[in-house]
Amino acid sequence: MAKIDIKNISKDELIKELVRMDEKPYRAAQIFRWLYKACPVPERSERYRASVKSFDEMTDLNKELREKLKDKFHITKIVLLDSKRSFSDGATKYLLKLEDSHTIESVFLPEEERSTLCLSSQVGCKFGCSFCASAPFGFVRNLKASEILDEVLFIKAHNKDRTITNIVFMGIGEPLDNYNNVIRAIRILNDEDAFKIGARKITISTCGIIPGMEKLAGEKLQIELSVSLHSADDKIRSKLVPINKRYPLSDLMTACKDYTRQTKRIITFEYILIKGINASEGDAFKLARLLTGLLCKVNVISYNQIRAKGYEPPAIDGVKNFIRTLKSRGINAMLRKSKGEDIDAGCGQLRISRL
Ligand code: SF4
């Protein structure tokens, strides 16, 4: 019988398994702490040492239980293939190999007051946004919850002097297209015997998958939702974010309004400015019109150049003018600096250079 991936199950599910094995339910919290809280120094070998890599290291469990756990469960591991650290802001990008040899990227973004992890949710992506480095190689598969948690464990172990405060699902893949596994991972990130990261510190970023947004609104999770908008014009947005043909702006805005009404939470819209495409003053007016009356803020990001994409960022005056125009129309907008520009930190860029 195939072994159960132990990082893929919740604490309640682990309790049920333990009871089936004639063990005490409180052991689940102990095992969770070993899996997610302890983070010994990584070994020098290529293989990453997760918080613990074997049940033998769970030294406060008796030997008999450790043997039973070994028979029933498997602890996944993730391996570092490459990393790049930004000299300008300390952002570090990791290229990681999964157990089936597929690769993903995760980024560590340290700031003075907080440390953010940008996680992948899929191997590749099926949504083909025209500005994105992840798009050209297509979709391979969803990440399991355990693999998402392995990204966190890996970065935590390699940055032991920092406390991870924030998680954003903005790496490779569309998190709402891998809904169940992402939510499963978030619940373990929340768990007090695991990472204990508050839901408000976790952001899901979507290109506008409306059924996923509707489902998320009903979860009663206090997480942040960010929508990649990039244009207030259906024709332009369909070129930049092709899923717009299926979920056009009018439907997307209705879904956003429903989401804010149900959750009472602000939506953040991400808007990447690309010279000659979506960055004019007229584009800003259109955007302001689209968002007026919606509980939201806009993060404006100047395009982070990707070789072979042919897009360019606008001049800084154009960026400032775009934000000024939004603000003059009552839209809460701010410039977000793209971190790690000197290390190709846009999602998928390191993976692409390997592929
Ligand atoms: S921007 Fe996000 S949704 Fe679009 S192709 Fe890239 S990873 Fe996929």
Write down the pLDDT at residue 304.
78
Buried b (16+ CB within 10 A) or exposed e, 241-260: bebbeebebeebbebbeebb
Query: Is residue 192 flagged as an active site residue?
Result: no
Q: Does ligand 1 lie within 6 Å of residue 128's CB atom?
A: yes
Does any ligand 1 atom lie closer than 6 A to the CB of residue 132? yes
Q: Per residue of the chain (355 residues), give pLDDT as tens.
A: 899 999 999 999 999 999 999 999 999 999 999 999 864 444 443 333 447 889 999 988 999 999 999 999 999 999 999 999 988 888 999 999 999 999 999 999 999 889 999 999 999 999 999 988 877 778 999 999 999 999 999 999 899 888 899 999 999 999 999 999 999 999 999 999 999 999 999 999 999 999 999 999 999 899 999 999 999 999 999 999 999 999 999 999 999 999 999 999 999 999 999 999 999 999 999 999 999 999 999 999 998 766 556 889 999 999 999 999 999 999 999 998 776 666 554 555 555 555 4
Q: Is 214 a catalytic residue?
A: no
Q: Domain ends where: 45, 74, 103? A: 74
Q: Are 5 and 144 in contact (CB under 8 A)?
A: yes
Sheet strands (E) in 198-324 = 202-206, 224-228, 267-273, 296-302
Regarding whether 285 and 252 lie in a shared domain, the answer is: yes
* Residues 108, 177 within the same domain: yes
pLDDT computed for residue 136 by the predictor? 73
Catalytic residue, candidates 105, 174, 224, 270: 105
| CB-ligand 1 contact for 107 (6 Å cutoff) | no
Domain boundary among 74, 101, 123: 74
User: Would you state the pLDDT for residue 219?
Assistant: 92
Q: Are residues 235 and 86 in the same domain?
A: yes
For ligand 1, whether the C-beta of 248 sits within 6 Å is: no
Regarding whether 58 and 91 lie in a shared domain, the answer is: no
Shared-domain flag, residues 50 and 90: no
CB 54 within 8 A of CB 311: no
Residue identifier of the C-alpha nearest atom 6 of ligand 1: 132
CA of 241, closest atom in ligand 1? 4
> According to the model, what pLDDT value does residue 170 have?
93
CATH assignment of the domain containing 272:
3.20.20.70
Cα 308 to averaged position of ligand 1 atoms, centre (Å): 17
- Residue 25 structure tokens: 């339910």
Q: Is the C-beta atom of 269 inside 6 A of ligand 1?
A: no
End residue of a domain, out of 49, 74, 99: 74
Residues 70, 115 within the same domain = no
110 membership: H or E segment, kind and range: strand 103-110
Q: Are residues 68 and 85 in the same domain?
A: no
Q: What is the pLDDT of residue 344?
A: 58
Same domain, 63 and 89: no
Q: Are residues 128 and 52 in the same domain?
A: no
CB-based contacts of 272: which residues, under 8 Å, 6+ apart?
131, 228, 230, 278, 301, 302, 303
Number of structural domains, the chain?
2
Of ligand 1's listed atoms, the one at least distance from the Cα of 173 is 7
Residue nearest to atom 3 of ligand 1 (CA): 174
Centroid of chain to Cα 266: 18
Structural domain containing residue 33: 4-74
C-alpha distances in Å from residue 291, one per residue of 82, 109, 166, 267: 41, 29, 26, 11
Between β-strands 92-97 and 79-85, what pairing exists: parallel, antiparallel or unpaired? antiparallel
For residues 45 and 95, membership in a common domain is answered with no
CATH number for the domain harbouring residue 38: 1.10.150.530
In this structure, the answer to whether residues 154 and 33 fall within a common structural domain is no
Q: Based on the domain organization, do 297 and 149 belong to the same domain?
A: yes
Determine the pLDDT at residue 46: 34
